Amino acid sequence: MTDRRSHAQRGPTASNRLWAPWRSGYIAGAAKRSRRRRAEKGGTAGGPERSEGRLQEGCIFCDLPAQRRDRANLILRRGRRTFVMLNRYPYNNGHLLVAPNGHVAGLDDLAPAALRELAEEVRDAVSRLRDVMKPDGFNVGLNLGGAAGAGFADHVHFHVVPRWVGDTNFMPVAGEVRVISQRLEETRKALEPAFRAAARRASSRGTGKRRSG
């Protein structure tokens, strides 16, 4: 007998899980690095963590930018208050994450200038992806809170996902598995020049405004 319930109704079962044991090394490594840094600062591994809108150890949106290894960490652009990076576990080719520098959980926690820059970076990310990857459409949004599906609920971030007609094939429909057809390094190399050019244009506009002022 065929189970006609939806994926959400069935819940996680052996038939709709894609086992990825290689991710355990990434997760364990991040946790180990976080514990080591807290110990070096005199904290305890199990103690409370404070964010105060600054940086939060163990959060990829705080840890990765702080490492200053942008190419390895797939960070494409840094603004004054925000940054843009490729999602290491993308829903589709070119899946970008746009986040503020400060560790805050909600949009209402952001200062007006940071909120404005975040919106502008989301807009520009769509523009860069459209220029380089020529998608047919986009999914743009954010998950606020763990119940809404946020993987890092304490650091608000936008998802910008390019979509193409036909990119939903039998794999996610029948097998409930996404197939990503391009390596992350290839995607980064394709997008990086567009983000660099945009940064140079923004810098030159800012210089021109200061001179005219």
- What confidence tens digit (pLDDT) does each residue in 6-55 have? 444 544 444 444 445 445 555 556 556 555 655 555 544 443 333 345 66
Query: Would you state the structure tokens that stand for residue 71, as one six-digit string?
Result: 């190419």
Contact 38, 45 (CB under 8 A): yes
pLDDT of residue 212: 53
| Residue 12 maps to a domain | no
Angle (CA) 199 204 207, round 5°: 125
Alpha carbons 159 and 71: distance in angstroms, whole number? 20
- Point out the catalytic residue in the list 103, 155, 157, 159: 157
| Residue 4 maps to a domain | no
Q: Is the pTM of this model over 0.75?
A: no
**Structural domains counted in the chain:** 1
More confident: 172 or 125: 125
Residue 122: give its domain's CATH number.
3.30.428.10
pLDDT of residue 149: 87
Domain that holds residue 86: 49-212
When pLDDT is cut at 50, 70 and 90, the band that residue 4 belongs to is low
Helix (H, G, I), strand (E, B) or coil at 159: strand
- What confidence tens digit (pLDDT) does each residue in 143-186 have? 999 899 888 899 999 999 999 987 765 444 444 555 565 788 88
Question: 157 catalytic, yes or no?
Answer: yes
